[in-house]
Amino acid sequence: MYLKQLTVFLENREGRLDSVTDILAKNNINIVCLSLADTSEYGVIRMIVSDPDKAKAILKEEGCLARLTDVLAVSMEQKAGSLNRLTKMFAEQGINIEYMYTLNSSREAGSMIIKCSDIDKGYDAVKKAGLTLVDPEAAYSM
């Protein structure tokens, strides 16, 4: 029940993000959510997209450095303390959260994309805690 996250590495210069989004748009691939981080020279785009395998192949054909990574998408209530309960649960299980970002949100609920140090242990911890994982097909079609 993992999601495939598309990660693209690119030079941190004008127009590079546009070129990636243009390639995906022309190939009818929807970007469901995106996180962009940068250094002075490089950028890292992390995305959940409608067709991760196709997106990776197309971007590689276009000369982009792209890879797929397994991540968890955990549903959460939109109320004070929800994120703290999630991070505490991971900490108590000795699982490091390497990074996270939101998948979607509404006034009632949202979801967090989580890349953790041990995906299988993280999955088991989430299930044991009674939390809900977002179905991959549902996430890809949001």
Last residue of a domain, one of 33, 68, 103: 68
Same domain? For 94 and 46 the reply is: no
Same domain? For 59 and 30 the reply is: yes
Give the Cα separation of 31 and 142 in Å (integer).
9
The phi and psi torsions of 132 (rounded to 5 degrees) equal: -100, 130
Amino acid, res. 44: V
What total number of domains does the chain contain? Answer: 2
C-alpha to C-alpha distances, 66 to 7, 60, 130, nearest whole angstrom: 6, 6, 34
Same domain? For 51 and 99 the reply is: no
Residue 108 pLDDT > 70: no
pTM of the model: 0.88
**What is the pLDDT at residue 33?**
94
Residue with the two structure tokens 């009632």: 108
Q: Which domain holds residue 12?
A: 3-68
Amino acid, res. 16: R
Question: How many C-beta atoms surround the C-beta of residue 24 within 10 A?
Answer: 22
Same domain? For 76 and 53 the reply is: no
Residue 78 pLDDT > 90: no
**What is the pLDDT at residue 105?**
59
Provide mean pLDDT across the span 126-134: 92
Same domain? For 42 and 16 the reply is: yes
